[in-house]
Amino acid sequence: MVDLVVFRRWRDRSGDVIALFPELPADVNGRFCDSYMHIGQHGAADYHGVIQHTVPVGPKQYAALAQELRLVGYNLRPVKHASRRHHDQRRATARQLAAADTKSPNKDKP
């Protein structure tokens, strides 16, 4: 499996790089995508909100974060931006996960 990723840098003084995974849902509705930063690591992100507050980065700027992600098991495919298809895929995946969870035989067991 390939993990589509968009790397961006915050405009604030920190200049930290963030990795956005537009196809990976971070909530049951698929509204938010999964994200990753050196500090804080995994978290939910509003893709479009993050894009508004960040700038694109090149391979040299995101190399350290990409290496960290590979070490934790990601198979990265960097892209410049996510398309509508990527966002649709995230929502579809969230629906599939939610449906699978409701069918789980252990759902109500302590």
Residues sharing a CB contact under 8 Å with residue 85, sequence separation 6 or more, in sequence order? none
pLDDT digit string (tens) for 42-59? 999 999 999 999 999 999
Task: Express each pLDDT in 26-39 by its tens digit.
Answer: 999 999 999 999 88
**What is the per-residue burial (b if ≥16 Cβ within 10 Å, else e) of 51-71?**
beebeebeeebbeebbeebee
Query: What is the reported pTM?
Result: 0.88
Q: How is residue 99 written in tokens?
A: 């449906």
Closest CA to 78 of 39, 21, 17, 33: 21
In sequence order, the β-bridge partners of residue 55 are 9
